A and B are shown apart, each in its own frame.
Chain A
Amino acid sequence: MDSYLLADTKTVVAQAKAGDPAGFEALYRAFEIPVYNLCRRICRTAEDAEDVLQETFLEICRSIGQFREDGSLWGWVRTIAASKALMRLRRNKYRDTEELNDEVVGQRREDTHLRMDLEAALERLSETSRAVVWLHDVEGYTHEEIAAMMGKTPSFSKSQLARAHTRLRRWLGEEVAA
């Protein structure tokens, strides 16, 4: 992904490491959208996601000297963004409405044969479940890596993913009678 987003990653990283504002801005412009997308998929609100986007790039500016150039730049940026977004979830301590939503949706489904689209269903998952789904299924993190970022066990990550898919399947109307 680095080579796709940045024409000359080495030069830009060297500029940023030297404290050149042009280097920092090039990093921001290259990774702004994927970082925001990741944050928005994890955070509850767009405002939270924008705050996390800002915190992520501030951290990148502070820590670019620690980036080891033998690794993937996007991988490094993404880990900072994911950690910040998960930190925001913990800090906000949103009320987890998963059980309530699940119950309500279950009842409405029987009454109205509700079918949600994928965006809406994803949004309806609890913050934790949504974060696990996004990090595992889309970003490609392993359960071990997710567990380390969340301060939980791999089993927790696996069970969150299974519960999330069970719910998504139901909310998307994909259930079939066995």
Chain B
Amino acid sequence: MMHLSMEQLLALREPGAEPGTQGARAHLDGCGSCRAEFDRLHQRVARLKALPALRPTRDRWPVVRARFEAERRARRLRRAGLIGLAAAASIALLIGLRGTFQPSIPSAVPAELSEAKARSQALEAAIDQYHPESRVVDGRTARIAQELEDRIAAVDRQLQVTDLADPGQRETQELNLWRERVGLLDALVDVHLTRASHVGL
């Protein structure tokens, strides 16, 4: 006598028996061997369900929270960056208009400032390409990255108020802040790259 296959026994456990299972059901009712196999299948599934829950060895919440907060800060930074960019464009337009009526004073600062801004943009692009928000990191890396992002945010806030500074000192102040920003971004890139090499990403 042909006994039921494992596929047939499993099909009989599915809710809403399919049309093809009627014959299998009839066989099961009349075959002690298949009935025993079916019961063992039930028991195996019950034992699987009764296995004790496995628990993580470490509390991962601090890492999850740090990463989520870093992501939120990065989103805010990007938004602030866009606003800052728009403000910078308006100021540049104003300066340009004033420049058409006033003789310009040659200085080395604007060139260095442009260089620092370009470097800052390049570093941000490098970080964006790395997609830090989609990476899994250890707690220490997350904390370091978070501190650096906080300091970058603080520099950005200072940059937004440099317009209020004395015109004679404004460019130098701005240049120093942009240089600091570049240094911090450099460090942030290093953190990401070091971590990447550690976990082989």
Residues of A in contact with B (beta carbons under 8 Å apart): 19, 21, 24-25, 28-29, 32-34, 36-37, 40-41, 46, 49-51, 53-55, 57-58, 61-62, 118-119, 122, 133-134, 137-138, 158-159, 161-163, 165-166, 168-169, 172, 174, 176, 178
In the bound complex, residues from chain B placing their C-beta under 8 Å from that of A32 are 56, 60-61
A54 pairs with B63, CB closer than 8 A: yes
- Alpha-carbon distance A109/B57, docked complex (angstroms): 34
User: Is the beta-carbon distance between A28 and B61 smaller than 8 angstroms?
Assistant: yes
- Cross-chain contact A28 with B56 (CB below 8 angstroms): no
- Minimum CB distance partner of A140 in chain B: B49
CB pair A37 B68 closer than 8 Å: no
Check A158 against B68 for contact (C-beta < 8 Å): no
User: Which of B40-48, B96-104, B113-121, B150-158 lies at the binding interface?
Assistant: B40-48
Give A119 to B54 CA distance when docked, in angstroms: 11
Q: Which of B11, B47, B57 contacts A50 (CB 8 A)?
A: B57
Main secondary structure of the interface of A (DSSP, over half): helix
**Shortest CB distance A40–B (Å):** 4
Docked Cα-Cα span, A54 to B41, in Å, equals 34
Report how many residues on chain B are interfacial, defined by Cβ distance under 8 Å: 34
Give the chain B neighbours of A122 by CB distance below 8 A: 48, 51
A153 to chain B, nearest CB (A): 15
Interface flag for B6 (CB, 8 Å): yes
Which residues 27-70 in B have Cβ within 8 Å of A in the complex?
Answer: 33, 36-37, 40-41, 44-45, 47-49, 51, 53-58, 60-61, 63-65, 67-69
Q: What is the distance, in angstroms, from B185's C-beta to the closest C-beta of chain A?
A: 23
Partner pick for B54 among A28, A37, A61, CB 8 A cutoff: A37
Given A55-B136, A165-B44; 18 other pairs, CB 8 A cutoff:
A24-B64, A24-B68, A28-B64, A29-B61, A33-B55, A36-B54, A36-B56, A40-B54, A51-B136, A57-B60, A57-B61, A58-B64, A62-B71, A118-B51, A158-B7, A168-B44, A176-B33, A178-B33
For B68, the chain A residues whose CB sits under 8 A away are 24, 58, 61-62
- Bound state CA distance, A83 and B177, in angstroms? 44
B43 closest partner in A (C-beta): A174
A156 CA / B57 CA spacing, docked (Å): 34
B7-41 CB mask vs A (1 if < 8 Å, else 0) is 10011000000000000000000000100110011
Residue pair A37, B136 in contact (C-beta under 8 Å): no
Main secondary structure of the interface of B (DSSP, over half): helix
Cβ-defined contact, B7 with A53, below 8 A: no
Contacts of A134 in B (CB 8 A): 48
Q: Which residues of A contact B10 (CB under 8 A)?
A: 158, 161-162, 165
| Residue numbers in B under 8 Å from A169 (CB-CB) | 6, 40, 44
In the assembled complex, the Cα of A46 lies from the Cα of B11 at a distance in Å of: 33
- Docked CA distance A168–B51 (Å): 15
- A83 to chain B minimum Cβ distance, whole angstroms, is 15
Q: Which residue of A lies closest to B34 (CB)?
A: A178
Task: Name 23 interchain pairs, CB-CB below 8 A, sorted by A.
Answer: A28-B61, A29-B61, A32-B60, A32-B61, A36-B55, A36-B56, A37-B53, A40-B54, A49-B54, A50-B56, A50-B60, A53-B56, A54-B67, A55-B136, A57-B60, A61-B68, A118-B48, A118-B51, A137-B49, A158-B10, A161-B10, A165-B10, A174-B44
In contact, A33 and B53 (Cβ under 8 angstroms): yes
Given contacts A122-B48, A165-B44, A54 and B64 within 8 Å (CB-CB): yes
- Chain B residue contacts of A162, Cβ below 8 A: 5-7, 10
Nearest residue (CB) in B for A133 is: B48
A146 CA / B123 CA spacing, docked (Å): 42
